[in-house]
Structure formats: C-alpha cells, structure tokens
Structure 1
Amino acid sequence: MQIAIIGAGMSGLTCARQLLEQGHQVTVFEKSHNVSGRMSTRQTELGGFDHGAQYFTAKSPAFKKAVATWSKDGWVAPWKGRFVTLENGKSKPAGANGSGVRHVGVPGMREIGVQLAHELDVRSAQRVERIEPLGKQWLLIVQSDTVPISATAGPFDAVVVAVPADQAAGLLRVAPALAEQAASTHLVPCWSLMLAFQESLELGFDGAWVNGSRLAWLAHDASKPGRRPGEHWVGQASVAWSVEHLEDDPERAKEKLLKAFHEATNTHVQPVYAAVHRWRYAQAAQPLAGDCLWDAALRIGACGDWFAAGLDGAGRIENAWLSGAAMAQRLT
C-alpha cells in the first residue's frame, strides 16, 4: 500500500519504520525542518540542549526490547545522574521520583528520531493543511515553506495522523467519529528554559524536581552521556505557569524563568547564554484510552503520546512508541 504519515515525531516514525519493514510504500510529512518532534535538541555554539523530552523509561516488554536494540546500536545510553527534589532552595533525595533507569539519546534526544528516519521518505517543512477523499483513496493538501501555493500529494491508500490531539482533530474532519474522539482530549503547554554558564555552579545534582516554583524541572544537560562538556542547564516550567503565561513574549518569559532558576538553586550567576522555547502542545492533560484510533473502512487513523497505550498516564516517549507500533499493526 501507499501510506501517508503526518508527523515525524516518535509515534509517526515508529509507525513508518514498521510499515516500511512490512513492505509498504511510506511517505512522512513533517511541518518542521527536522524530525523528532518534542524529542528535540537545540544546537548552539556552546553545544546542544535537550529542550523537549528530557529522558525516557521503559516498562512494557515490547518497548524494553526496542530500547535494548537502540542501546546496542549506540543510539541511547542510561543517564546515571544525581537526582533530587528542590523546595525553598534546599534539596533532598528524590525518593520515588529517583527510581528506575533513565535513558537518553546519544549525543542528544533528537538522535533517536534521526536514526528511526533513516531510509524513510521524510518530506520536511511540509505542513499538511487538510485531507481530502479521492474515491477510496486520499489526497493531502500540503503547504511548503518554499512554494507560495498549496500542492497536492497522493493518492494514498491509507493515512496516519501522528500529531498532537488538538491538531489531529482538525485533520480528521474527514472521519468525524475519529475527530470527535481526538477532540475529547488536549495537550497542555510547557515553556522550556536553556542556560549556559562560563563556570560550574557546583549545585551537587544533575536533575531536580522543583516544588513551589515557576519551574517544575531542572537538568544539568551536560551530565548526560555523549554530551559536550560545559555548564548547560535546561529548566521546564510547571503546567499551571505555562498555561497562564502561554502567550507571554519570549523575552518576558525568559526573564521570569531565569529569576525562578536563581531562586530554586540559590545562585545568582548570570548565564552567558539564555533562551526559551514554548511547546504549545507538550503533554496530554487526559490520555485517551486505547493505543490508537483506526477506521478500517476509511483507512485512516491517528496515533501519538496522547494515548494511554496500557500505561499509567500519557505524554511519555513509551506511549508514543507503543501507539505508533499499534497503528502499524492495524495496517497489516
């Protein structure tokens, strides 16, 4: 079959990879210039920053098997950092949060997506505006950064929508029942802060869950395996603060989050590099039951980390992988 997949994050790439191995012709459309979605690594002159997904764990047997293969191939490695909880400028052991093996992509989180995309036909910087029926097949109306007018791609025998639920609902209008289910959940935002310092802050930890702050998480990014040495930190704001300040000017958000970093760490050293990134769709507020959506008659479906996929909660890399794998099985 000729299959179109919209979205080159973990879920879309997992689905595409498995379909390719089954002998299907797969084309992946990605609105960004790079693959990996929220598993992104911001490259700077000072090194990379994992400003999206920070790490991942593996619970299900199928995902554990995949991670073992990635580890053998050198895509991932365990992050053996020091983890704490911060509150009022004081640290204490991480407790339950500190248990389990945390895996990271090497040399950055984005690398996993890059490797999964190898040998796939990925059309980057191509935003799918809508899906249109053509008999029993589908056409995609696509907008490219380099072409002023929309173009048509297809026809395709099946379409998989692998984007956040909020965006998937709009693309799935051609399958109203699926669109309604996608619209029943949504993803909450997250502001990420990236900082680099000239000298070590000597904070005594590599990752921290933060209580009572605008920031909910801090990570010494350079402590992850395969990273360029340096004092590189990533902070991620709480859901409540990110929702409240979603439309803030980036400079204003950076100022507020830098202040929160200083308060949480009891330091006042000014960074030599500071930047923020707004993830408008960061994590599912309420995961959708099941592992994917699929209409066998229309041959259209959706997958993503907004599905529970048999796990407790959503928004994890494992949710995305399990959902993408389940979607590929629907198409066999």
Structure 2
Amino acid sequence: MTLHIAIIGAGMAGITAARTLTQAGHQVHVFEKSHAAGGRMSTRDSAFGSFDHGTQYFTVRDARFSLALQTVPGTTDICRPWSANAVRVLDPLGHVFEAARPSKEAHFVASPGMNALVRHWAQPLGQALHFQNQVQRLERNAKGQWTVHSLNTKSGKDVLEKHSGYDRVLLAMPSVQAEQLLRNSGSAVTKTHFIDAMADVQVAPCWTLMLAFPNASQPDLPHLGPQWNAARSTHHRVAWLARESSKPKRGKIERWTVQASATWSQEHLEDDAPRVQAKLLRAFSELTGIRAEPSHAEVHLWRYAQTLTPLGVSYQYHAGTGLGTCGDWHLGHRVEDAFVSGLELALAVCQSAHRL
C-alpha cells in the first residue's frame, strides 16, 4: 500500500526518513522552516569563508550509516577525514583544557561545509521539499487523514497554507518543538503518549561564536595562535574551539568557531548578541592567547543543541494515529544518532504499511 507522508524537518533524521520512504515507493513531502536542508549540520557563510557553527564533525559506528556513506552516489566525494593535533594546555590565567585526543575512531567533516552532506542526500527529493514553510499545527479528520497547517515565508510575506491528505505525519525536529506542535494541534493529538515520554528528554542550548582573522593569512604570518586545531575546554564559558581553516576545503583564511558550555549558554540564554559576543571573545583570547581584533565576529544561538538526557529509544511511532517522531534526541546528540532514528522510524512505517 502506498502511503502519503508528511515529514516535518529537513535535518539528518528527516532527510534519512524521507529518502528511505521514497525508495520504498511512498509519496513524501518534507516541510522545513529554514531555506535549505541541514538542521544543526549547518554552515554559515561570510566574506572571509564559512563556519560550521552547528555540528563540528561526525563519526561512524553503525554499519548502516557506513553503508550509506559509501554507497549513496557522490557522498564519498563530499566527506573527508579531519583530525586535530593533540596537546594539553594550561593557559596563563590557569584555565586547564585538553585538545581533542587522537582516536582510533575516524572523525569526518563534509566539504565544503557540514551542510553539504544533508543537502546532497536531499537533492533527489526535488519538489517534495517545501522550504521556508513552518508547520503551525496538525489536524486529523474523521477518516484518519492529516492536514498540515503551515506558514509559508518564501515570498517575504507570511502566507497560511493547508496541505491535506496525509496518511502519516512524522516529526523530525527537536523534542521541545515537537511537543509544542503536538500541543498546538488539539486534543486528538495531545492524547498521544508521545508527550508524556518526551517530558524526560533534556536538551541544552549553545551560543556559538564565529571569528575570522584575514591578516593572519599573510605570507609573513602564516599561522595565528596555538598549534592545535580543536580543543575541548573546561573554561566556564567555553566547551569547544575549532580552527575552521584546518578542515578540508575550507579556505586558508584563519577562522575559529567557539561553542559555549551548556551551563553558561543556559545562564545567558536571553542575553543580547553583542554582550554574548564580547564575553565569548574574551574567553577565546584567554584560552588561545590570540589578542588580535577579528575582522569578522558574530554569534548564533542554538536553543536546542545538545541532548543531555535522551529518550532512550530510536523513534516513536503509533500506527493507529499515523504519528511518529525521530531525531538525534531519541538516542543522543551525534549525527549518526539522527541517521539511525530517521532510518528506523521509516522502516517501522514501511512495515506497518505492509500489514494494511
């Protein structure tokens, strides 16, 4: 039986589910509030080069994820290994932090930016992708079919739309947003046990700082700051630093991405961007010894960045209502967690269709 399926969210989980269901012969529409696929595997462009201001890299442990990376046409041309020099550093102010240790586990990045992998996998979906289309609520009729009510912002104006006739609706979005969408959709939806299960999921925010130092790329100054390319920090403000220009196919201009700690990000969640930028820039200087004024600096807030307490199962699905949820927060916070969640939800939907 061919199903008509709406998927809300075009990150790794949503695109994986969409591809799997499309390959199984089902008709899929993907709704995404942003202008392109990627989710937290995002890349921010600037006049000085790009920044992976969300996910920094990914690892591969699941055989199915490995197979997809090896067999989806063009993927091996996009994904490149990336390693960081390993050192232990004590900065002058006494903040101890340790650069990313070498590991037998390979670390990969997508090129020219982390968003390239999800966007490449989304390409075959073509007209099934509805970008700049934020879903507001869901509605189920007496026959059990779903209508998706969305806000289309593509034209620069807010246009309310209704997309009807779906047999299944899969939420591939952060747990907080998925819960809110279910609550906005009326009693027929909020009765689902999904909401109770999601109450225990904890996801932390993250402020991210992006810096560019083009003067460091001059012949007489080939390298700026420390001799390592990535570090996990114990500084109360900063959890992670990475030299973007050390990644494959990223350009030579010296660029850094600095990600704040979960605790500090939560404490400063509602701060204005200039204040956050100043505080993180100060911490960056303390940790790296780089005192030069950046030619480019900006911050971005990820409200739902890193899973602290996952759901504990790879997906949720209720065949009776046709609702399902997927995303990395079901299992953890890794790219592969999102892939596995989207894949296993799609396979569960396919199995339920065969039983109809």
Report the TM range for the smaller structure's normalisation. Answer: over 0.9
CA distance in 1, matches of 2:100, 2:211: 26
Among residues 57, 60, 67, which one is paired with 1:58 in the alignment?
60
List 4+ stretches of structure 1 deviating above 6 A.
90-93
Provide closer, same or farther for how the CA distance between residues 12 and 83 of structure 1 changes in structure 2, counting only shifts above 3 A. Answer: farther
Instruction: Give the gaps of 5 or more residues in structure 1.
Output: 309-313
Q: Counterpart in 2 of 1:157?
A: 167
Greater mean deviation of Cα atoms: 237-246 or 224-233? 224-233
Which one-letter code corresponds to 2:80 in the other structure? Answer: A
Q: Counterpart in 2 of 1:187?
A: 203
- Say whether residues 1:104 and 2:109 are aligned partners: yes
CA distance in 2, matches of 1:119, 1:283: 29
- Say whether residues 1:232 and 2:255 are aligned partners: yes
SS in 2 for 1:32: coil
Provide closer, same or farther for how the CA distance between residues 205 and 152 of structure 1 changes in structure 2, counting only shifts above 3 A. Answer: same
CA distance in 2, matches of 1:307, 1:160: 14
For the 8 Å contact 2:148–2:162, the answer to whether it is kept is yes
Instruction: Give the gaps of 5 or more residues in structure 2.
Output: 184-188, 217-222, 351-356
For the 8 Å contact 2:97–2:234, the answer to whether it is kept is no
For the 8 Å contact 1:87–1:210, the answer to whether it is kept is no
Q: Counterpart in 1 of 2:238?
A: 215
For the 8 Å contact 2:98–2:232, the answer to whether it is kept is no
SS in 1 for 2:328: coil
- Say whether residues 1:302 and 2:325 are aligned partners: yes
Which one-letter code corresponds to 2:129 in the other structure? Answer: V
For the 8 Å contact 2:277–2:299, the answer to whether it is kept is yes
CA distance in 2, matches of 1:99, 1:239: 27
RMSD: 1.8
Q: Counterpart in 2 of 1:22?
A: 24
Which one-letter code corresponds to 2:302 in the other structure? Answer: W
CA distance in 2, matches of 1:234, 1:94: 14
CA distance in 1, matches of 2:235, 2:270: 22
Rg larger in structure: 2
CA distance in 1, matches of 2:71, 2:212: 33
Pairing of 1:199-214 with structure 2 (within 5 A)? 199=216, 200-214=223-237
Provide closer, same or farther for how the CA distance between residues 86 and 168 of structure 1 changes in structure 2, counting only shifts above 3 A. Answer: farther
Q: Counterpart in 2 of 1:169?
A: 179
Among residues 143, 147, 154, which one is paired with 1:139 in the alignment?
147
Provide closer, same or farther for how the CA distance between residues 218 and 39 of structure 1 changes in structure 2, counting only shifts above 3 A. Answer: same
1:45-91 deviation line (CA, Å, top 9, x unaligned): 11110000000111122222223336853121100332445443588
1:246-292 deviation line (CA, Å, top 9, x unaligned): 11100110000000000011221111110100001101120011100
Greater mean deviation of Cα atoms: 317-326 or 208-217? 208-217
SS in 2 for 1:232: strand
For the 8 Å contact 2:84–2:100, the answer to whether it is kept is no
- Say whether residues 1:80 and 2:90 are aligned partners: no
1:122-174 deviation line (CA, Å, top 9, x unaligned): 11110000110022110011011144342111210101000000011122341
- Say whether residues 1:263 and 2:286 are aligned partners: yes
For the 8 Å contact 1:86–1:211, the answer to whether it is kept is no
SS in 2 for 1:11: helix
Q: Counterpart in 2 of 1:252?
A: 275
CA distance in 2, matches of 1:95, 1:278: 24
Q: Counterpart in 2 of 1:275?
A: 298
SS in 2 for 1:57: coil
SS in 1 for 2:281: helix
Provide closer, same or farther for how the CA distance between residues 66 and 32 of structure 1 changes in structure 2, counting only shifts above 3 A. Answer: same
Among residues 35, 39, 42, which one is paired with 1:40 in the alignment?
42
Q: Counterpart in 1 of 2:220?
A: none
Which TM-score applies when normalising by structure 2? 0.87
For the 8 Å contact 2:205–2:304, the answer to whether it is kept is yes
Among residues 129, 151, 157, which one is paired with 1:122 in the alignment?
129
Q: Percent identity?
A: 40
